[in-house]
C-alpha cells in the first residue's frame, strides 16, 4: 500500500499502477477491493496481481469511466476474464457516459504512462520470443551449415499440414512458430510470455522485430515481412473450406 492512504499501488506482472483507492471501493464486494483491504490491514506497500498489465489498465479505465474501451493490442476476452475474476459486474451497467465525455483510446495510449507500459511489455515479450525461441533455432541451423533459415510466425490454426498457399521459401530450412492470436485468445495463451501476433503485425513492429533479431543474434541480415496464406479448414458439418490468415515471414541470412 502506498504511503498516501488515499491511493493504492498495484504491481501487475512487474508494471506498477497507482490509483485512487475510492475507485476500487466503488465495488466494495469485489475481489479487487478485498485485495486492497488485505494489503491495507497488513500494511503492504503494494498489491501484487499476476495478470496481463495491458488488460489491467483497461479495467482501471473501466473503473474511472464505467465503459469498456479496449485497444487493438488487448484481447477483449482477456479483459472480460479479469473482470469476472475480480468480481466487477460490468454486464449490469446500463448507464453509458456520452462519447464526448470519454477520452479516445488513441489519446489514452498516447499518455506517457500507458505508452511506457505498452513499450515495456511488448519489448519484454519480443525479447522472450527472440532469446527463447528464435536464437536456439538459429544456432541449431548454423551448426548444420545452413546459410539461411526462414521462420513462419503463425496463429495456432495455421500448420504446415493444412496450408494451401505456395510459400516462396518452403523448400529452404525453415521453422514454424505459433503465437497467441487475438482471435484465438484464451486465458492459457494470455499467460504465455510470447508476443501477440496481431500486435507484431501492426505498423512499425515488423521493422522493430527485425532490428532486434539482428542485434541479438549477430546474423548478417534479417528480412521481416507480412504474408497472407490460405488454409484448408473443416467446419462443424465436416465440410472443407479455405480461410485466409495473416502471418509473418522472417528470413535470417546467417552468413
Of the chain, the percentage scoring pLDDT greater than 70 comes to 78
Instruction: Tell me the per-residue pLDDT of 211-225, one tens digit each, with 9 for 90 and over.
Output: 999 999 989 999 999
Q: Residue 185's pLDDT band (boundaries 50, 70, 90)?
A: very low
Q: Are 153 and 177 in contact (CB under 8 A)?
A: yes
Domain 7-110 has CATH 3.90.960.10: no
Q: Are 38 and 32 in contact (CB under 8 A)?
A: no
Residues in contact with 74: Cβ distance below 8 Å, sequence separation at least 6, in sequence order: 52, 54, 55, 58
In terms of DSSP H, where are the helices of the chain?
Answer: 21-25, 31-42, 53-65, 76-86, 105-110, 112-129, 135-143, 187-190, 197-200, 205-217
Rounded to the nearest 10°, the torsion over CA 214, 215, 219, 223 is 10
Instruction: Tell me the per-residue pLDDT of 115-158, one tens digit each, with 9 for 90 and over.
Output: 566 667 777 888 889 999 999 999 999 999 999 999 999 988 88
Task: Give domain limits for the chain.
Answer: 7-110, 122-253
Q: pTM of the full predicted structure? A: 0.53
Helix, strand, coil percent content, the chain, rounded in steps of 5: 40, 20, 35
Quote the pLDDT of residue 93: 33
Amino acid at each position: 500500500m502506498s504511503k498516501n492512504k488515499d491511493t493504492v499501488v498495484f504491481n501487475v506482472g512487474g508494471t506498477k499502477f497507482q490509483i485512487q483507492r475510492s475507485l476500487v471501493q466503488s465495488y466494495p464486494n469485489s475481489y479487487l477491493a478485498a485485495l486492497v483491504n488485505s494489503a491495507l490491514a497488513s500494511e503492504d506497500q503494494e498489491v501484487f496481481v499476476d495478470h496481463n498489465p495491458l488488460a489491467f489498465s483497461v479495467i482501471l479505465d473501466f473503473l474511472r469511466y464505467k465503459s469498456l474501451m479496449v485497444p487493438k493490442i488487448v484481447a477483449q476476452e482477456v479483459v472480460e476474464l479479469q473482470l469476472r475474476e475480480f468480481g466487477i459486474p460490468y454486464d449490469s451497467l446500463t448507464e453509458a457516459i456520452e462519447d464526448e465525455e470519454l477520452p479516445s483510446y488513441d489519446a489514452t495510449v498516447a499518455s506517457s504512462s500507458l505508452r511506457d507500459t505498452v513499450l515495456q511489455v511488448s519489448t519484454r515479450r519480443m525479447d522472450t520470443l527472440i532469446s527463447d525461441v528464435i536464437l536456439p533455432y538459429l544456432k541449431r541451423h548454423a551448426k548444420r551449415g545452413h546459410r539461411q533459415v526462414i521462420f513462419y510466425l503463425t496463429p495456432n490454426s495455421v500448420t504446415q499440414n493444412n496450408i494451401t498457399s505456395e510459400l516462396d521459401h518452403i523448400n529452404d530450412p525453415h521453422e514454424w512458430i505459433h503465437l497467441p492470436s487475438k482471435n484465438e485468445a484464451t486465458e492459457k495463451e494470455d499467460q504465455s510470455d510470447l508476443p501477440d501476433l496481431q500486435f507484431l503485425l501492426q505498423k512499425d513492429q515488423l521493422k522493430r522485430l527485425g532490428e532486434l533479431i539482428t542485434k541479438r543474434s549477430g546474423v548478417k541480415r534479417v528480412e521481416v515481412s507480412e504474408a497472407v496464406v490460405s488454409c484448408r479448414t473443416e467446419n462443424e458439418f465436416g465440410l472443407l473450406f479455405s480461410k485466409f490468415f495473416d502471418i509473418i515471414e522472417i528470413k535470417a541470412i546467417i552468413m
